[in-house]
Amino acid sequence: MITKNQDTIEQIQEAGYLITYEQMNTLIEFQRKWAQLSMWTRALMVSILEDISNKTAIVNHLFTILSELYYIFRVFYGPIISQQLLNLLSRLVTNQWSLFEAMKSGEKEAINQSTVNIYKNADELAELLSKINVYWYEDQWKNLLYQYIKLLIDEMVAMLSRNHEREIEIYNQLQYIAEIMGGYMARGIIARSSGASAQE
């Protein structure tokens, strides 16, 4: 049985180079970080929906995951670009928090504004990623980020309506998209690093 990781490895190998131990770790780490983001974002939804007092702790943990991503990016892109990425990812988390709160309260104007903000944020993130890596395409990042955001919104809607079966189905889809995003991010970094090595 071929796993998603094996499929990703084959894609990397088809690109003209073998994957090293360090590159495999990069792949696994990015997939893990995106999976953690989707998991803890779900925890934030539950906290907001049920008025649990752990919202701040959950958001702080989400920012911790983003800080860990920052240090991974810093190895490949240095502190300035990595900080720009961290800022956009942090804004993504903040916008998600605002949107979930608005959805819980049912304030239509706040929902609309938060939705505009979150998609604008996704556009800015896709643009930056495509500029810093020739193997990342802006349209592809927009597609992935839009799918991710839509699934988050759908999951919150399912929670609000207490449709638990649908909520679980959406969460599984979110985990799948998160893994694809992590794999795409890792492949771009691996391809860029290997291309740079080949040119030197």
Q: Tell me whether residue 18 is exposed, middle or buried, using C-beta atoms within 10 angstroms of its C-beta: 0 to 12, 13 to 18, 19 or more.
A: exposed
Q: What residue numbers bound the domain in which 124 lies?
A: 27-37+56-192
Q: Would residue 43 count as lying in a domain?
A: no
* Whole-number Å distance between alpha carbons of 150 and 145: 9
How confident is residue 1, by pLDDT bands cut at 50, 70 and 90? Answer: very low
Ranking 72-76, 171-175, 188-192, 196-200 by mean pLDDT, the lowest is 196-200
Structure tokens at 132: 């810093």
Greatest CA separation found in the chain? 57
How confident is residue 10, by pLDDT bands cut at 50, 70 and 90? Answer: low
| Cβ contacts of 28 within 8 Å, gap of 6 or more | 5
Q: Would residue 86 count as lying in a domain?
A: yes
How confident is residue 2, by pLDDT bands cut at 50, 70 and 90? Answer: very low
* Whole-number Å distance between alpha carbons of 32 and 37: 9
Each residue's pLDDT tens digit, 149-181: 999 999 999 999 999 999 999 999 999 999 999
Q: Would residue 141 count as lying in a domain?
A: yes
For residue 166, the one-letter residue type is R
Mean pLDDT (the chain, rounded): 87
The closest of 87, 5, 4, 72 to 33, measured between CA atoms, is 72
pLDDT > 70: percent of the chain:
86
Each residue's pLDDT tens digit, 104-138: 999 999 999 999 999 999 999 999 999 999 999 99
Q: Would residue 200 count as lying in a domain?
A: no
Q: Would residue 50 count as lying in a domain?
A: no
Number of domains in the chain: 1
Q: Would residue 162 count as lying in a domain?
A: yes
Q: Would residue 17 count as lying in a domain?
A: no
Q: Would residue 178 count as lying in a domain?
A: yes
User: Is 15 a residue whose pLDDT tops 70?
Assistant: no
